[in-house]
Amino acid sequence: MPLVVQKYGGTSVGDASRIRNVARRVAERKRSGDRVVVIVSAMGRTTDDLIRLSREVSDQHHPRELDMLLTAGERISMALLAMAIRDEGVEAMSLTGSQAGILTDTSHGQAKIRDIKAFRVEEGLEAGKVVIVAGFQGVSPDTHEITTLGRGGSDATAVAMAAALHADVCEIYTDVDGVFTADPRIVPGARKIDEITFEEMLEYASAGARVLMGRSVEFGMRFNVPIHVRSSFHDEPGTWVKEATMEQPIVSGVAHDTSTAKVTVRGVPDTPGVAASLFTPLAVEGVMVDMIVQNVSSEGATDISFTVPLELLDVARPIAEATARAIGAAGLDVDDQVGRVSIVGSGMRAHPGVAATMFSVLADAGINIAMISTSPIRVSCVIAASQVDEAVRRLHDAFITAEQVVAP
Ligand code: ASP
Ligand code: MG
């Protein structure tokens, strides 16, 4: 009997009628003969509301208690969904992350899944039940504390659980039809991508596409679990994320991200060790640095620029300031009005002109590029935040709509 792991996001379980709608779909799938495990997110904006509430109660940071609080969101959805599925005449049972054997490291708020001991899930399946598991949470076997996996973490729960159970597919149900060639709110002509490789999806997610949490794609890739991203509102197929695809377009999609800030340390002495003295303390504080550009000028001093997620700027800025002082740099500039546009596609490997074409498209639109970074299948540019939408439209026109025009 095929085994499917389905994940329903916050919008899909946003109110009682939507929960009943999900219950009908799950029951139908079960009756068709599949074994079904369901991972749920918290209803609607519950997680945001709980975070807000915690801030109203206390302005201190309480990582352990925050995890206790936030995991309640998924616990509400799992119990309600189990009730609704049973009303459909199908046996169902809900489990918290810890009951489902999701074992994590000890870190609160950003825990990583270390192992899954899914025997209670397997028992439930064996007994013919639909098993519902609360997403986004686990337990540390070292501290016995409840942990959360970071925002959007239910995706990771779903793909990891699918891997642990050797499921045939992991279906991620969401409020959009799949993964798009660009954000349809910016590019009305953006189209759904039928198939995309794990590798491309990973780059796409890290470039700002929010439909799938990056870490879940890593699990999919590592354990080769095909992921089907699809709408919870209809039955049309969505986007398959898998190891290889039939087509290898040069550019699969255009991603963007406006929650980026750029930091420049000016006039850094050009001596061994300065980069290490800047980026080591940032890494220790968990600041994910994305692009790094260093330029040696004729006077033997360098400027080092890098980007950080906007929400980590308050952590990064004082570290950069302190380091700049310590190493005798000339000064520090911070720009939070920047964004990133990226093009992603496996076919880029075989086509050298792609980056050049991207730069020409931006130049023709009068858009200045502040920083560039590349991987073998991605090119990203940092530009003014106010020009991101225009850049996305132009790049989509050039690479997707006009079918892969590439400079010779
Ligand atoms: N409820 C959590 C969040 O909003 C986890 C998730 O939705 O995947 O981040
Ligand atoms: Mg969510």
User: Residue ranges per domain, the chain?
Assistant: 3-175
CA count, 13 A, side-chain hemisphere, 325 = 5
Q: How far apart are the C-alpha atoms of 399 and 216, rounded to whole Å?
A: 27
> Residues 345-363: what's their mean pLDDT?
93
Q: Is 120 in the pocket of ligand 1 (CB under 6 A)?
A: no
- Separation of CA 328 from chain center: 37
Whether the per-residue pLDDT at 355 is higher than 60: the answer is yes
Query: What's the pLDDT tens digit per position in 134-174?
Result: 999 999 999 999 999 999 999 999 999 999 999 999 999 99
pLDDT value at residue 280: 94
Q: Which residues are CB-contacts of 234 (< 8 A; sequence separation ≥ 6)?
A: none
Query: Would you call 335 helix, strand, or coil by DSSP?
Result: strand
pLDDT value at residue 408: 45
Cα of 79 from ligand 1 centre, angstroms = 16
pLDDT value at residue 246: 83
CA 111-116-120 angle, to 5 degrees, is 125
Q: Is 151 in the pocket of ligand 1 (CB under 6 A)?
A: yes
Name the fold adopted by 3-175.
Answer: Carbamate kinase (3.40.1160)
> Residues 199-212: what's their mean pLDDT?
92
356-361, long-range: CB < 8 A, 24+ apart: 356/407, 357/398, 357/399, 357/405, 357/406, 357/407, 358/395, 358/398, 358/399, 360/407, 361/394, 361/395, 361/398
Structure tokens at 221: 């890739």
- For the chain, the average pLDDT equals 94
Q: Is 47 in the pocket of ligand 1 (CB under 6 A)?
A: yes
Whether the per-residue pLDDT at 232 is higher than 80: the answer is yes
Cα of 153 from ligand 2 centre, angstroms = 8
Categorize the per-residue pLDDT at 300 as very low, low, confident or very high, splitting at 50, 70 and 90. confident
Residue with tokens 């939507």: 18
pLDDT value at residue 404: 53
> Residues 45-55: what's their mean pLDDT?
97
CA count, 13 A, side-chain hemisphere, 390 = 13
Residue with tokens 């009005």: 337
* Lowest mean pLDDT, pick from 62-76, 115-129, 210-224: 210-224
* Lowest mean pLDDT, pick from 12-16, 65-69, 294-298, 350-354: 294-298
Q: Is 41 in the pocket of ligand 1 (CB under 6 A)?
A: yes
Cα of 151 from ligand 1 centre, angstroms = 5
> Residues 21-31: what's their mean pLDDT?
97
Q: Is 253 in the pocket of ligand 1 (CB under 6 A)?
A: no
Q: How far apart are the C-alpha atoms of 34 and 105, rounded to whole Å?
A: 32
Cα of 158 from ligand 2 centre, angstroms = 13
Structure tokens at 217: 């794609």
Cα of 303 from ligand 1 centre, angstroms = 38
pLDDT value at residue 298: 65
Whether the per-residue pLDDT at 407 is higher than 80: the answer is no
- Separation of CA 291 from chain center: 18
Whether the per-residue pLDDT at 406 is higher than 80: the answer is no
Spatial contact of 179 and 239, defined as CB atoms under 8 Å apart: yes
Strands of 113-116's sheet, edge to edge?
113-116, 102-104, 137-139, 146-148
Categorize the per-residue pLDDT at 317 as very low, low, confident or very high, splitting at 50, 70 and 90. very high
Counting from 1 in the atom list of ligand 1, the atom nearest the Cα of 42 is 1
Whether the per-residue pLDDT at 348 is higher than 50: the answer is yes
Whether the per-residue pLDDT at 109 is higher than 80: the answer is yes
CA 266-272-275 angle, to 5 degrees, is 50
pLDDT value at residue 121: 98
CA 228-166-106 angle, to 5 degrees, is 90
Spatial contact of 266 and 332, defined as CB atoms under 8 Å apart: yes
Spatial contact of 40 and 171, defined as CB atoms under 8 Å apart: no
Q: How many residues does the chain have?
A: 408
pLDDT value at residue 403: 66
Spatial contact of 66 and 102, defined as CB atoms under 8 Å apart: no
Q: How far apart are the C-alpha atoms of 156 and 221, rounded to whole Å?
A: 12
pLDDT value at residue 46: 98
Q: DSSP of 215-235, one letter per residue?
A: HHHHHHHHHT--EEEEESSS-
> Residues 5-17: what's their mean pLDDT?
97
Spatial contact of 340 and 277, defined as CB atoms under 8 Å apart: no
